[in-house]
Structure 1
Amino acid sequence: MIRVSNTIIKELISRTNIIDIISHKFYLKKQGKNFVGHCPFHDEKNPSFTVSIEKQFYYCFSCGSHGNVIDFLMNHDKLNFIESIQFLSNMHGISINSNINACKNNNSQQNDLYQLVNELCEYYINILNQKKYSYVYEYLKKRGLNSETINNFSIGFAPPEWEHSIKITKILSYKTELLKKLGIFLGKHLNYHQRYNRFHNRIIFPIHNINGNIIAFGGRSISDKTTPKYLNSADTAIFKKSQNLYGLYKNYVQHKKIPYILLVEGYFDVISLMAFKIPYVTATLGTNITAYQINMLYKITDCIICCYDGDNAGKIAAWRTLNQTLPYLTDKREIYFIFLPNGEDPDTLIRKIGKDKFLKILQNKQDISNFLFKILSQKINLQTLSGKIKLSNLILPMIKKIPGETLKLYLLQQLGNKIGILDDRKLHQLLQKTPVSSDYNTKITKNIDISNTVEHILIGLLMQNPKLAKLVPDTQILQTYENYDIKIFIDLVETCKTYTILNSAQLLEHYRDNNFFKKLEILTFWNHMVKEDIIENTFIEALIKLHNLILKQKQETLIAQDRVNKLTQQERRELWLINQALSVQYNTAKF
């Protein structure tokens, strides 16, 4: 990411009131300490978009959009990072010219990565065309790919020999550091004997961004016995697996008007369908579809057709996709589901039955209503009162996520028909009383484990209230505790004490490029359930608890040591002091 110095960024954020920026774009209403309005990132009738004056953050409880003023300019006004900084610097009359060269250097490194992946792509293509690896070409032909298709998708091969790693290093020796950043080689070093090629013995599929630039690779094992069968490049400055889709650029570049997108699961699915002249196909990169990807698809089409295997795994994947999609379903947008026969995927099926019969299968797609009620009704006895109540409790929170009023009304009426409530007014009353299950905290903690541990409480409270750092007299004893989250907390405390006037937005921005940024972002918006008037006391109590945990750990270590080797006089004195300290009921932390 292009960056200017943290000092400049902190200064710009401190001078900017996020309310002033956002309120110029759309209406905000004062509500308690915060401002609320309709979310600009998805259609909704009831306002769920909140802007905090104190923390200088915005977040939407419905779709999960969030960030500081820089994020808003990037996501709403479609500025890139440096353009957002320049916008704020012009507004406040602060020059950032001295930082431009550093930004250009970062941009230059991204350009180098683009060039490197193109060179690697050519290398993999040349390997596939060698006679030595003709068996790979034959394998692709057995999968239904002809020479034209192979060339069209720039498919290559990474051979199994370890010498292959040496060849790449020699050919691209001037880009050794970039090879590390791409994650092409696994291991700490790039010397000949510690190098291991991520994609060895795999068919290589170049992954393009929506503009057609190669940004990464996907590798499919040549042997079905090798696991994992599919492997992707590591995330880099130019590639984020959760923000890209395979084959999407071909639809975006080649077709001006896209009536629908057929969402499938694999590289071969995309390639085979397109080879059979079925356009508008894209695939996720081996993971569950993300909200970012859903939003990307709905920017280029109003209709998504999800094509999954008919087994249980396929239905679970479809259910996850539906839940991600609900907050984006305006009345103009559609989503459908198709389930193929067990053991089949689009690639194998179309080669068996041909294009015409495959298109007929697509015509039997299920709309959201059929899929939703079919799945939820499977294990519920709707002949009983408890069954009807259970169905209502399951489906009402999902309906409430949907911004499309007509679609929401239709699904409510469907529910009413099934549970025997035909009065629309009563159904709406039920909906209004239903809590929204798409709580932002649930969304952003999906892939990172956040719980009420003492470490998370301390980090979360400090991120949301940076002034609490003054309550930590010293971090020396904390540094003896071997815990990753505590190391994060120590770093936060030191940052807050160095920059004493930081608000939450500035504090989080300080860590934007750090490897624990995502966890800090989550804890900044985490609902810790602590009432405002007891936040300070809760923070102190957590510090005391952590202090006692460290003392107990040290106590156990000394006791165990005494059983093996007698303690020195100094160590016995230390153990006595710890025993005394733990026997006292602390009112304040004594570091």
Structure 2
Amino acid sequence: MSLPPGFLDELRTRLSIGQVVGRKVTWDARKSNQGKGDLWSPCPFHHEKTASFHVDDRKGYYYCFGCHAKGDAISFVRETENVGFMEAVEILAGEAGMPMPERDPRAQEKADQRTLLADVMEMAVQHFRLQLKTGVAADARAYLERRGLDAAAQDRWEIGFAPDAWQGLWDVLKAKGVEDDLILGVGLAKPSQKGGKPYDTFRGRIMFPIRDARGRCTAFGGRAMDPNDNAKYLNSPETELFDKGRSLYNHGPARTAAGKGQPLIVAEGYMDVIALAEHGFGAAVAPLGTAVTEHQLAMLWRIADEPIIALDGDKAGLRAAMRLIDLALPALEAGKSLRFALMPEGQDPDDLLKSQGAGALQKLLDEAMPMVKLLWQRETEGRNFDSPERKAALDKALRDKIKLIADPSIRQHYGQEIKDLRWALFRPQRPAFVPGRNGGRGWKNAPQPAMPSTKSSALVSGGEQVTEYLAEAKILAALICTPEVADEFESGLETLVCADPDHGILRDLILRHAHEGAEVLREKIFGALGPDTLDNMLSSRHLAIVPCIRTPGNADLARMTVAEELAKLSAAKGLNAEIADAMQDLEGVADEGVTWRLSQAAAAAENATRSGKEDTAEYDTGHNGARISRSERDAFAALMEQIKYSKPGH
């Protein structure tokens, strides 16, 4: 059976020989450099202990320095599976998701046809290059020189010129005996709709040859010299040689440069690629004026694990980057991703190189953001999340995007990174106790100056904040000792407003790292607060006696402690709220409403002092015959004393 032209090329493009061979061997970690596709292992074809078997994943070949076995992915499958050529192709095609073609008796004839078409394209390359040196191309040469391309650079990139003539190239090729169907077949001319001679596709344009990975010219890109031309850039139509969605400008040279360690840069156009390469960034490619396709993305990952997308700094460039995220998410694999270097607004790589030089571009490449950060930017930039509904909409949009990731490990890491970014965006501000109306005081979200460490905070100063401080400390210590229950109290922690700065830091670290285990969480705490803070906290006499802290890892005790202390804090806040309301009501005439608010405050005080056990306090009888507990009575008396001195004249 004969295979159609291009089938094996496509098969080799889709498959990584490193993955094919990697199923049969174990790579030597000391000699291998997987990032550069330089892989070594003991040879699978003869018994040995040293790693003399070399795989060049970028070029697609293997070679053993011991037994001298060599070949490509097809050869490897033939030898290791003991199958014939076509069976090996079928095995690899199945892995690559390519259906085997039907038997084609004219395969050789088609192969010969492709060779003829490629020859015609080379004739066109030479014709256009000669035209660039003529008088009619003076403006084109001047334009290229203004763009920084001297005669030597024009020759390196084989740049040419198509004069503004209807049959200029057609007549030249016909004079050399080229058949009409070949000229039309490679898209160099179009048939006339008026019955006349076919006319040239490219007229009045600077010509850039587009070559495949093997170096064959498969198409042209032409830049119009007329500023009023409807199409500034024009590519060859798709032909038997050229598939725009499976081609990259500068593919072959970029692959070679990336193999030598240069970063793979994806730019938008021919001139960007040329400018990058001329300034030392040889591993630069462009997707031929279209958005990156799925096939082009696979080709990029065959060249480098983390291509850097360097798109223009305008809205169109940013939109192209955002679209690429959706294309790449389902295809992400461990070690295979994208980074994004966004150019300054209104500039492309060529502009930046001319204005600021290679150093400025290198700085942008070094600071290229990972794809997860651009995903976050896309979903949050320019939006206001001032309501629960808007926050929920953001969460849903991000969850939907993360679900696109097929690899569960990458999906988990994306989820954690998004969680961290979300926490940074919605992080509650630490409170300050500031003066309110009529001389009163209340909590207000405002930055608070740094305070002494936990050791010398509210416990030293005493007062009404001690109870709140101890409740916070118990909650945090319980979760540090048993972090596996932290997820159950995530909502309560997120709304926990810590009066002590160290407590706020501990709360943040628990929310972000509790899922990673006690050891990792403690390391994060040590890094943020130092090694003594946590030890001092857990060994303090107030916390050391708490059962769940004495027995770390006891999930039931930890749950009970955290739930109880959160309830206490909630009740205490209810007390503060009722006191504030009652104080405001006293500005008017006292009535039943004030009395009701005071009773609510007393009830809140009772709830705040409960510890989940039955109240065994003695009861007194009020003036109206009702029974009140000692704690209610004391809280009520304290309130009345406070109210007394808040009235005018006191």
Compute the TM-score of the two structures, normalised by the length of structure 2: 0.49
Q: Please name the residue that 1:171 is paired with.
A: 175
After superposition, where does 1:203-352 map in structure 2 within 5 Å?
203-258=206-261, 260-352=263-355
2:332–2:405 Cα contact (<8 Å) kept: yes
**Distance apart, 1:174 and its partner CA:** 2.7
Letter in 2 for 1:124: F
Letter in 2 for 1:349: L
**Distance apart, 1:113 and its partner CA:** 0.8
Q: Deviations over 1:431-487 (max 9, x none)?
A: xxxxxxxxxxxxxxxxxxxxxxxxxxxxxxxxxxxxxxxxxxxxxxxxxxxxxxxxx
Q: Deviations over 1:242-270 (max 9, x none)?
A: 00010121122455345531110000000
Distance in 2, matches of 1:211 and 1:326, equals: 29
Q: Please name the residue that 2:379 is paired with.
A: 376
1:259–1:303 Cα contact (<8 Å) kept: no
2:192–2:199 Cα contact (<8 Å) kept: no
2:266–2:309 Cα contact (<8 Å) kept: yes
SS of residue matched to 1:299:
helix
SS of residue matched to 2:357:
helix
Distance in 2, matches of 1:332 and 1:196, equals: 49
Letter in 2 for 1:282: V
RMSD between aligned residues: 3.2
After superposition, where does 1:18-57 map in structure 2 within 5 Å?
none
Distance in 1, matches of 2:94 and 2:485, equals: 36
Q: Please name the residue that 2:520 is paired with.
A: none
Is 1:131 paired with 2:144? no
1:165–1:195 Cα contact (<8 Å) kept: no
Q: Deviations over 1:348-377 (max 9, x none)?
A: 221111111221122232211221111101
After superposition, where does 1:496-575 map in structure 2 within 5 Å?
none
Number of residue-to-residue matches in the alignment:
349
Q: Please name the residue that 2:403 is paired with.
A: 400
Is 1:110 paired with 2:110? no
2:276–2:284 Cα contact (<8 Å) kept: yes
Distance 1:303 1:151, change over 3 A: same
Q: Please name the residue that 1:359 is paired with.
A: 362
Q: Please name the residue that 2:518 is paired with.
A: none
**Distance apart, 1:294 and its partner CA:** 0.3
**Distance apart, 1:158 and its partner CA:** 0.5
Q: Please name the residue that 2:199 is paired with.
A: 196
Letter in 2 for 1:212: G
Distance in 2, matches of 1:286 and 1:186, equals: 22
Q: Please name the residue that 1:503 is paired with.
A: none
Picking from 131, 142, 146, the partner of 1:142 is 146
**Distance apart, 1:130 and its partner CA:** 1.6
Letter in 1 for 2:160: G
1:211–1:253 Cα contact (<8 Å) kept: no
Q: Please name the residue that 1:473 is paired with.
A: none
Q: Deviations over 1:377-406 (max 9, x none)?
A: 124433421122111221112212224444
Distance in 1, matches of 2:485 and 2:126, equals: 62
Letter in 2 for 1:243: R
Distance 1:364 1:390, change over 3 A: same
Distance 1:140 1:334, change over 3 A: same
**Distance apart, 1:276 and its partner CA:** 0.9
Distance 1:239 1:186, change over 3 A: same
SS of residue matched to 1:107:
helix
SS of residue matched to 2:210:
strand
1:251–1:258 Cα contact (<8 Å) kept: no
1:338–1:364 Cα contact (<8 Å) kept: yes
User: Matched residues, percent identical?
Assistant: 25
Structure 1 runs, 4 residues or longer, greater than 6 Å off:
69-72, 78-81, 419-427
Q: Deviations over 1:401-429 (max 9, x none)?
A: 224444322321233342679999979xx
Q: Please name the residue that 1:162 is paired with.
A: 166
Q: Which has the higher contact order (CA 8 A, sep 6+)?
A: 1
2:256–2:283 Cα contact (<8 Å) kept: no
After superposition, where does 1:440-479 map in structure 2 within 5 Å?
none
1:185–1:196 Cα contact (<8 Å) kept: yes
Letter in 2 for 1:138: A
Distance 1:169 1:388, change over 3 A: same
Distance in 2, matches of 1:309 and 1:317, equals: 9
Comparing 403-412 with 275-284, greater Cα deviation is found at: 403-412
Letter in 2 for 1:105: E
Distance in 2, matches of 1:142 and 1:257, equals: 31
Letter in 2 for 1:139: Y
2:162–2:205 Cα contact (<8 Å) kept: yes
1:215–1:238 Cα contact (<8 Å) kept: yes
2:263–2:307 Cα contact (<8 Å) kept: yes
Picking from 413, 419, 427, the partner of 1:410 is 413
Q: Please name the residue that 1:182 is paired with.
A: 186
After superposition, where does 1:37-116 map in structure 2 within 5 Å?
75-76=93-94, 84=100, 100=105, 102-116=106-120
**Distance apart, 1:296 and its partner CA:** 0.9
Distance 1:73 1:201, change over 3 A: farther
SS of residue matched to 1:412:
helix
1:258–1:280 Cα contact (<8 Å) kept: no
**Distance apart, 1:168 and its partner CA:** 3.0
Letter in 2 for 1:106: K
Comparing 289-298 with 69-78, greater Cα deviation is found at: 69-78
Distance in 1, matches of 2:246 and 2:301, equals: 14
SS of residue matched to 1:174:
coil
SS of residue matched to 1:231:
strand
Q: Deviations over 1:23-66 (max 9, x none)?
A: xxx9xxxxxxxxxxxxxxxxxxxxxxxxxxxxxxxxxxxxxxxx
Distance in 1, matches of 2:89 and 2:486, equals: 40
Comparing 153-162 with 258-267, greater Cα deviation is found at: 258-267
Distance in 1, matches of 2:253 and 2:225, equals: 25
Larger Rg belongs to: 2
Q: Deviations over 1:121-159 (max 9, x none)?
A: 111111111233222112111111122221111111110
